[in-house]
Structure 1
Amino acid sequence: MILVIGDIIVDEFIWGDVSRISPEAPVPVVNVDRIDRRLGGSANVVRNLHALNTRSAMFGLVGDDEAGQWVKTRLSELDSDNRGVVTKSNDRPTAIKTRIIARHQQVVRYDREWTQPAMPETQAKILSSLEAVLPESTATILSDYGKGVLTPDFIRQLIQRLHGAIIGVDPKPEHTDAYRGATFITPNLTEAAAMAGMQPRNDDANAEAIAKKLHAELELKYVLLTRSERGMTLYDGKQSHHIPTAARDVFDVTGAGDTVIAVFTACLARGDDPLSAAIIANRAAGVVVGKVGTATANWDEIESH
């Protein structure tokens, strides 16, 4: 079982078509065909693990509202343990990101969320739930979307408690120091450069320098940088491996980082070496960016890509 801790978001998609411009303002008029929801943010990591037939447990925060209940129900449908999902009162609603998509292109996105740091008592509930499933876990993913669940102090507390286990972090630059002692991080190049206090140039030498600095300063085992059209760079403490992109078509990069950390962690947890895990994660990312919306990749899709 892989534990996922972080910021739960509901991804809402309004699908339609555009055939005219509004007479009221120079904006497209979208004729809505359908509306659907998907687990997003940290919960999208759970969706990706489910696509890999990997058991999970989700730890996070939702509001006492219809969307929050939907999150818990959907997690149960994915066979993910949701005991660690804390429900807060309506002063902190469930985070929802709504994307309007016409002809496979995102027209606009609007967010409804509360990003203040979670209260210590809420984090204590999460930690208590974590203790109950820890004996069954093979790895933990800290999915930091910067929405308040993973505060620096809580991150440090979690890493200290999980010491000796596989701990993967999808990071936010503002929390850089708190990730010290994790097993690995999976930032994109821009995030990694900000974390290292360097400028991103997206050439191999620059990516390697950034990865080495973060590896040393944060006492990590691995650094896996995602580099968009340049693929990925893995630094394993001894050498850098530059992995060319596996993307054939890029329609939507939404949630691709969730796929990368889910697949990389699942591979490490089953005993793969880090380079093999990174190559497989790179192929998985190539699959999901070829889909529209928050997508996942299963083993068959990854192997055939």
Structure 2
Amino acid sequence: MIDTLTPGRIVVVGDLLLDRYITGSVNRISPEAPVPVLLHAREHATPGGAANVAANAAALGAPVSLIGVAGADGAARTLREKLAAWPGIDTGGWVIDPAWTTITKTRILGGQQQIIRIDEEILAPFRAETNARLLAAVDAALPGARVLVCSDYAKGVLSDEVIGGIMARAAAASVPVIVDPKRPTFGIYTGAALITPNRAEISRATLLPTDTDAQVEAAARAASSQFGGDVLVTRSEQGMSLWQRAGSVRHVSAQRSEVFDVCGAGDTVVATIATMLSAGLPLETAVVIATTAAAISVSKHGTATVSRHELQHALNGETTGHGNLVSLGEATRIVADWRRHGARIVFTNGCFDLLHPGHIALLRGAARQGDRLVVALNTDRSVAALKGPSRPVQDEHARATVLGALRDVDLVVLFDEETPIKAIEALCPDVLVKGADYTEDQVVGAPFVRGYGGRVALIDLIDGRSTTSLVRRAGAGQANG
């Protein structure tokens, strides 16, 4: 269903943030003070705040006009460069204010554990000229828009003056407004069609508990009385509750997911709802789809987007094919999404017929070379061409299923050619991995990968472990039997 939708243009107005991540390993305590020592490994940046809402909407196929305030600084340039990964995002509505510092949140992680967060922000009311330029950008973006999103992170862009101006302009243009709120009460959002507070935000605004369905319904009713629209309460592991002025209430259970990081999940929810509404779906359906999108988002590390194909597979109740098996075209789209979030892509290939400890050592070593491991798997035809007519022992789908079940493997693609060079050229991995029984000049694709700054890694193998020897011993055992 998602693949056939044609989303309309969305206007996102709000606080532009840059999320930075510095990762490494912690193995000792500093002799200077009782603090962990991080051995720096890498760092990357992703869009945050309203910019993350825009990225999520664009990842679902919606054209987006993004409006906010940025400083004349390096963080703003980095943020614009990161957003360029989504061609559907128009940043022409940014107001550059030399007196403003682009807000940056830097998270320091030891492994996957966040140690500390450093915020760079100097908050002060904007000048009247800046507010006027924001509203002028809204005026320019509204014609032809289907939905307007206010992404309020309480950093100053959505002041009383700007919110009031947005509501008046959106009403005149008959464009519905969705608000992700941060105010202590919701009266300032009068005119919005929908607000999406979490449990803490709605409880603070209404002074009511939100532990049970009935309590959430009462809090939503009280919240609606403050601004006059519908209310979607996001409830973490309890899912979401949609309260509508027309009298209907719907509680949607959370999708089961291995939760890594809830950072940015609210952005994914509001972006998904806005995108679905822009494509003409009813609000109730949009909320169910957003619940699935949220489950995908929290299963990822850091601020993340949910792509259209990921959402479609999840809604179909599918994993990505047999195990993690996808077509090369789909793998290219997935890898591009990973790269937008700073992931280093690792690639290896093989027949992987009867999986044994040697294979596991290779795959585990490969996974340690980066963030995401793609395995190119020989088709049955190409295995037979390499190993003889009695091979493979397991067909390609069985082999892909076994590989896809391994924690170290993120994606599996098939290749039918003599070598995986076509897959390597399509995916452009950062690290190309083979076993140490190869030399670097023997590795297919090595010159191509090194040509754009990638590298080749050779992983030590376990002596005496091979599928061929296993097959030979099994055959000998049958003969002796």
Q: Shorter-normalised TM-score: what interval?
A: over 0.9
The reply on whether 1:302 has 2:305 as its aligned counterpart is no
The reply on whether 1:275 has 2:284 as its aligned counterpart is yes
Alignment of 1:98-137 (within 5 A): 98-137=106-145
Deviations along 1:169-206, whole A, 9 cap, x unmatched? 000133621101101001101101112232x3421111
Alignment of 1:1-305 (within 5 A): 1-79=9-87, 80-89=89-98, 91-163=99-171, 164-174=174-184, 176-198=186-208, 200-220=209-229, 222-237=230-245, 238-305=247-314
Deviations along 1:237-296, whole A, 9 cap, x unmatched? 212111111141111110000000000111111111111110100110000101110011
Question: When you count strand as a share of all residues, which structure comes out higher?
Answer: 1
Larger Rg: 2
Higher relative contact order (CA 8 A, sep 6+): 1
Displacement after TM superposition at 1:17 (Å): 1.2
Q: Secondary structure at the match of 2:143?
A: helix
Amino acid in structure 1 at the alignment position of 2:75:
A
What is the alpha-carbon distance in structure 1 between the residues aligned to residue 60 and residue 231 of structure 2? 22
Amino acid in structure 2 at the alignment position of 1:106:
Q
Amino acid in structure 1 at the alignment position of 2:199:
L
Amino acid in structure 1 at the alignment position of 2:24:
G
Q: Is the 8 A contact 1:117 1:147 kept in 2?
A: no
What is the alpha-carbon distance in structure 2 between the residues aligned to residue 186 and residue 39 of structure 1? 20
Return 5+ residue gaps in structure 1 as ranges: none
What is the alpha-carbon distance in structure 1 between the residues aligned to residue 185 and residue 123 of structure 2? 14
Q: Is the 8 A contact 1:167 1:184 kept in 2?
A: yes
RMSD, aligned CA:
1.4
Displacement after TM superposition at 1:75 (Å): 3.0
Deviations along 1:114-136, whole A, 9 cap, x unmatched? 22222221111121122222213
Could you tell me the TM-score, scaled by structure 1's length? 0.95
Q: Is the 8 A contact 2:59 2:86 kept in 1?
A: no
What is the alpha-carbon distance in structure 1 between the residues aligned to residue 221 and residue 73 of structure 2? 44
Q: Is the 8 A contact 1:202 1:227 kept in 2?
A: no
What is the alpha-carbon distance in structure 1 between the residues aligned to residue 103 and residue 312 of structure 2? 34
Cα separation, partners in 2 of 1:32 and 1:8, compared to 1, 3 Å: same
What is the alpha-carbon distance in structure 2 between the residues aligned to residue 247 and residue 171 of structure 1? 26
Q: Is the 8 A contact 1:115 1:148 kept in 2?
A: yes
Displacement after TM superposition at 1:92 (Å): 1.9
Q: Secondary structure at the match of 1:264?
A: helix
What is the alpha-carbon distance in structure 1 between the residues aligned to residue 123 and residue 44 of structure 2? 24
What is the alpha-carbon distance in structure 2 between the residues aligned to residue 224 and residue 290 of structure 1? 22
Q: Is the 8 A contact 2:47 2:55 kept in 1?
A: yes
Structure 1 ranges of 4+ moved more than 6 A: none
What is the alpha-carbon distance in structure 1 between the residues aligned to residue 311 and residue 141 of structure 2? 29
Count matched residues. 302
What is the alpha-carbon distance in structure 2 between the residues aligned to residue 99 and residue 67 of structure 1? 15
Displacement after TM superposition at 1:70 (Å): 2.2
Displacement after TM superposition at 1:104 (Å): 1.1
Q: Is the 8 A contact 2:134 2:162 kept in 1?
A: no
Cα separation, partners in 2 of 1:82 and 1:205, compared to 1, 3 Å: same
What is the alpha-carbon distance in structure 2 between the residues aligned to residue 34 and residue 71 of structure 1? 18
What is the alpha-carbon distance in structure 1 between the residues aligned to residue 196 and residue 161 of structure 2? 20
Q: Secondary structure at the match of 1:174?
A: coil
Q: Is the 8 A contact 2:210 2:219 kept in 1?
A: no
Return 5+ residue gaps in structure 2 as ranges: 1-8, 315-481
Q: Is the 8 A contact 2:241 2:252 kept in 1?
A: yes
What is the alpha-carbon distance in structure 1 between the residues aligned to residue 185 and residue 12 of structure 2? 18
Between the aligned residues of both structures, percent identity stands at: 38
Is 211-220 or 66-75 further displaced after alignment?
A: 66-75
Is 222-231 or 72-81 further displaced after alignment?
A: 72-81
